[in-house]
Amino acid sequence: MVNVLVGLATSLIGGAFVWLWERGKDARVLRRKADFFGLVPGETCLVVMGNKHNVKGVATHKEIRAMIEVATLASQLGCDVVTESSDDFRGSNDNRTEYCIGGPLGDANVRTGGHLAAHLPGVRIVPYGPAPDSAAIVVGEHRYLFEHDHVEHTVVAKFMPPEATRPVVLICGQSSLANQAAVHYLKRNYREIADRLTSVERFCIMIKVSDIGTYGFQRASFARDVTGEAFAPEAGGPPA
């Protein structure tokens, strides 16, 4: 009888330990996810939306899908979500984690252009034009070309403005599809990306989306960690 009771007690203790360990593991996973995305449960996530290229006040379907992916992520981590238009919003993100979605060309997202100039001087985007490097993203000595509906790229950067207490996460793609692809890829692969980075507090990476004609936004991959070049004061150089 004693042995039975001891065995039962051991099983209960073991089961309780496994339950506590699993709960602790789940909490660690959520904390790591929240840290990577810069989100704090109970606080606010600000999503700043851009426009369709050269069409103010109109967001593309893919841009809206990217915003919904960010909003879903924030809600899963216990954050309230508010949205602002890049045409109207000015000022600091203050105590709200900001997700700024869209590139600056064609005034699609003028706030992105401001963020790049103020915080990422090593990143340059070539204006649209007839040249082969039209809309290319230049980071340091690397040039990421824009092959519409074939191969496209997105800059993803996280940084803390000096006047704010929460970070900005910038999603600056060469198209609305590239923005959607980047957000989708980040959500699915953040642990792998975090393992590649020196720090998740401040970083800048390039995400590549390829075979768009077949796979749409779903074939995205990690292209390169460009943190050092992006936050450096100079940009430009030969093609990668």
Instruction: Write down the pLDDT at residue 151.
Output: 97
For residue range 77-89, what is the model confidence (pLDDT) as tens digits? 999 999 999 988 9
For residue 136, pLDDT over 80 is answered with yes
For residue range 177-201, what is the model confidence (pLDDT) as tens digits? 999 999 999 999 999 999 999 999 9
What sign for the dihedral angle of Cα 46, 52, 56, 59?
negative
Instruction: Write down the pLDDT at residue 59.
Output: 76
CA gap 67, 179 in Å, rounded: 9
Q: How confident is the model at residue 207 (pLDDT cuts 50, 70, 90)?
A: very high
Instruction: Write down the pLDDT at residue 9.
Output: 41
For residue 8, pLDDT over 50 is answered with no
Can you name the residues that pair with 184 across neighbouring β-strands? Answer: none
For residue 17, pLDDT over 60 is answered with no
For residue 236, pLDDT over 90 is answered with no
- How many other C-beta atoms lie within 10 A of the C-beta of residue 138? 20
Q: How confident is the model at residue 55 (pLDDT cuts 50, 70, 90)?
A: low
Mean of the per-residue pLDDT values of the chain: 87
Q: How confident is the model at residue 57 (pLDDT cuts 50, 70, 90)?
A: low
- How many other C-beta atoms lie within 10 A of the C-beta of residue 129? 9
The burial of 232, by beta-carbon neighbours within 10 Å (0-12 exposed, 13-18 middle, 19 or more buried), is given as middle
Token duo for residue 26: 């789940």
Name every residue whose Cβ is closer than 8 Å to that of residue 181 and which is 6 or more positions away in sequence: 152, 154, 173, 207, 209, 217, 218, 219, 220
Under 8 Å between Cβ of 168 and 109: no
Q: How confident is the model at residue 54 (pLDDT cuts 50, 70, 90)?
A: low
- How many other C-beta atoms lie within 10 A of the C-beta of residue 220? 24
For residue 223, pLDDT over 90 is answered with yes
Q: Where are the alpha helices (DSSP H) in the chain?
A: 2-37, 61-76, 110-119, 176-196, 212-215, 227-230
Length of the chain: 240
For residue range 138-167, what is the model confidence (pLDDT) as tens digits? 999 899 999 999 999 999 999 999 999 999
Token duo for residue 88: 């109207």
